Amino acid sequence: MLVALLMCYAGFTALCLSTDRHHGELLHSKPSPRRRLGLRAAGWLLLTVSIWPAVVIAGWGQGLVQWCAVLMLSALLLVLLLPYRPRLAMNLAGIGLLACPVAAVATL
């Protein structure tokens, strides 16, 4: 479930960075239309693909339920970090993406 959690958090962070407000806060610039589209696509792709590790580990019945819980947990973590520690929120997403392959190998 760690892989799904890391992917969901990174996906929500990418979706968050696709907005003008959060992109400006974190990266001190307005996103170009191309970057905004890329961030949205990456965010939705990560959220969609994050279903796969949950289903592989626990099956369709429990996997989807656990994925929904992981989805809510990652969104809650991002919402709580963004107002108080925005740089930490963005750094955690990058570290999480780098740690995804390691966590996937560890669950084998």
What is the 8-class DSSP label of residue 108? -
Number of compact structural domains in the chain: 1
- Residue 70's domain comprises 2-106
pTM: 0.93
Contacts of 88 (CB under 8 A, 6+ apart): 81
> What's the pLDDT score for residue 107?
79
Per-position b or e across 66-84, b if 16+ CB within 10 A of its CB: bbeebbeebbebbeebbee
Amino acid (1-letter code) at residue 101:
P
Band (pLDDT 50/70/90 cuts) for residue 25 is confident
Q: Token digits for 80? A: 């709580």
pLDDT-above-70 percentage for the chain:
100
Is residue 35 scored above 80 in pLDDT? yes
Task: Give the H or E element holding residue 102.
Answer: helix 86-106
> What's the pLDDT score for residue 104?
87
Contacts of 80 (CB under 8 A, 6+ apart): none
